[in-house]
Chains A and B, each alone.
Chain A
């Protein structure tokens, strides 16, 4: 468990952040630029000083201003992957990787060879750092941080300095780390796509404070997310369970609450968790059991809430046997269908609009 409760007065911002992350897990600090995300991770790392507060990792106190405890950054055993990689230019890749390994304290849980294999670094070992591409630099930086055998890995917008479309050179590796090493991570980002791929928990930050926090499923339904990602990106994010392939359609059957979705994906082992995004704008609501439709997916549930969305639309939350999804409907439709909390409803979703995001590790 990582517990953070710190405050700091900055030039134009009063930072006051409190959140918890069950470990192992990946918490995304998500919010607009300048909301204090980087300062927060710097305080966790010990590179910035908080005015007051506490940082606890598992049973260890890293910072407690009341008890005058402030562990030096070099003794915190927290790995840090910076936005600009910060590889040592006077050392080759191999020596960069070993820099942290030589100084590692505590339990060693990952070896040099494992890191080289997991991050695909073999061909880079003898290179100088200025000969690396942006994605390669970040992979080396991640490997260097891991080899210091950290108890927690901080990543401050590690993909922000990469060219567009280059994030695929790094993101899959981070997923591998999350799934295979189960190392707790704090991931700072203002790109929701990255957060969707990696995070198990989200801390929504706004001008120095935490606006909302929770599992990614909970936060995906939080109205405050809307202003950050835009109305069109609002929708439920569900970690469903793969049931198997659908012989007729060639798609994958995924269990979501009490219902089942056919998702355009293939080759997944039954039992793995698959994260699926159901955008509110792509969901049609019906108050009767639908028939004679081309729609592949219909989920039966109960309306739980109707909230204002935009001038002419509402967001309707529907409970599908314990799993919440969200649909955007016009206010006119809300009136005509007489939608109200407690009524049965069917959510219709075209398979082509379903977005499988990533397979999540089974023990998550």
Chain B
């Protein structure tokens, strides 16, 4: 990208890479949780619902700190991950993806849940009488019908992941080329003298990216609506 400086281009590719990883990993989980929260009745459902939504109401820095405690090298999960799989999440882009995934998870679950709640359960009953078992029904009827919500959730979460700041900088710090995504680069530019023009360029880049995301989302939504005849 010739009109971007090497460091800008680095922050952009890193942001896209982190956001993509974050969405790819959290999407199946978000579908699972949306399904459990909509369709299952069990004790503790309200509590689970609250836990899923917690990142929406907590300061992002607090979420980052909690991740540090849990996934750090001496954290409960972090130590186990390293021992069992040799996976380290701290101070690298996978850790950044984890932080953005946790932060955008509630947005994703909400969007998917709304579309799941709008599905006529009668259609699933119809599939049953036609011989479709539980997984078959989910894959051939429920999932295609909740596709608008899944897409909306994925795109919202992707955009939110591009902009996540607090949780990322707390959990994985601000390392150029590894964890310095667009908002972190923007913040860093503002910390140096005469960095305003660099910051402005990064801000414009963020606007272009966000606008592009929204347009793509709208285009997808229209296509899916037409497919479903709404």
**Chain A residues proximal to chain B, CB less than 8 Å:** 45-47, 72-80, 82, 84, 86, 88-90, 99-100, 103-105, 128-131, 144-145, 148
Contacts and interface: CB of A to CB of B under 8 A. Distances in A.
A144 B123 CA distance: 13
Interface string B120-144: 1011011111111100100011001
Contact of A103 (B130, B141, B230): B130
Nearest to A80: B129
Nearest to B137: A74
B116 interface: no
B130 A100 contact: yes
Given A86-B122, A144-B130, 14 more contacts: A45-B129, A47-B128, A72-B128, A74-B128, A74-B133, A76-B129, A77-B131, A86-B120, A88-B126, A89-B145, A90-B228, A99-B132, A129-B229, A148-B129
Contacts of A45: 129
B84 to A, nearest CB: 39
Contacts of B227: 90
A82 B126 contact: yes
Contacts of B127: 88, 99
Nearest to B126: A86
B141 A47 contact: no
Interface residues of B, number: 22
A148 B131 contact: yes
A100 B127 CA distance: 8
Nearest to B123: A86
* In the complex, the 5 A-B pairs of residues with the closest C-beta atoms, listed nearest first: A130-B229, A103-B131, A100-B130, A86-B126, A80-B129
Nearest to B144: A90
A74 B132 contact: yes
Which of B125, B130, B141 neighbours the largest number of chain A CB atoms within 10 Å of its CB? B130
A148 B126 contact: no
Nearest to A103: B131
Which of B129, B227, B228 neighbours the largest number of chain A CB atoms within 10 Å of its CB? B129
A47 B127 CA distance: 11
Interface string B74-86: 0000000000000
B228 A148 contact: no
Contacts of B228: 89-90
Given A47-B125, A82-B126, A99-B140, A89 B229 contact: yes
A47 B229 contact: no
Given A84-B122, A131-B229, A99 B129 contact: no
28 contacts: A46-B128, A47-B128, A47-B129, A72-B133, A74-B131, A76-B129, A77-B131, A79-B129, A86-B123, A86-B126, A88-B123, A89-B123, A89-B145, A90-B145, A90-B147, A90-B227, A99-B127, A99-B130, A99-B132, A99-B140, A100-B130, A103-B136, A104-B131, A105-B131, A131-B229, A148-B129, A148-B130, A148-B131
B144 A100 contact: no
A46 B228 CA distance: 29
Nearest to A150: B129
